[in-house]
Structure 1
Amino acid sequence: MGNKIRVYVDKNKCIGSTTCIYYAAQTFTLDSEGKSTVVNVDGNDINKIQEAVDSCPVGAITIEKDKQ
């Protein structure tokens, strides 16, 4: 029994800086508009994803944690 997480990218805020990809490349990629998008929440561990969230220069990424 662990925590299930959901990761969201606010496309209106995202500037495509790629810092999220630097920290969690298995979780994020850029879409055709050059905006970050989540491709695999299970691609990186929660610590790497949190680093990506914390490094976003415009605060476009959020994590929701569900206790199960």
Structure 2
Amino acid sequence: MGNRIRVYVDKNKCIGSTTCIYYAAQTFTLDSEGKSTVVNVDGNDSNKIQEAADSCPINAITIVKDE
């Protein structure tokens, strides 16, 4: 079985730039406040989710890998 990941968005830091959605649209969406939120961790492969986190201009996305 592969490693699972947990993905968190720091709502206090998020500026709603949507770069995470560009890279992983099946995982992220904007909430009613225009902040990124995780909707489906299994929506994209982990490489796409990592790209999304790396693209965040203010590093509001954290990925935790479960061993």
2:28 matches 1:47: no
Deviation of 1:7 after TM superposition, in Å, equals 0.1
CA RMSD of aligned residues (A): 0.4
Separation of aligned partners in 2, 1:45 and 1:4: 11
Separation of aligned partners in 2, 1:66 and 1:41: 13
TM-score of the aligned structures, taking structure 2 as reference length: 0.99
Runs of 4+ in structure 1 over 3 Å off? none
Encode CA deviations 1:9-68: one digit per residue, 9 max, x unaligned.
Answer: 00000000000000000000000000000000000000000000000000000100011x
Q: How does 1:46-65 map to 2 (within 5 A)?
A: 46-65=46-65
* Identical aligned residues as a percent: 90
Number of the residue aligned with 1:33: 33
What are structure 2's unaligned runs of at least 5 residues? none
Matched positions, count: 67
2:5 matches 1:5: yes
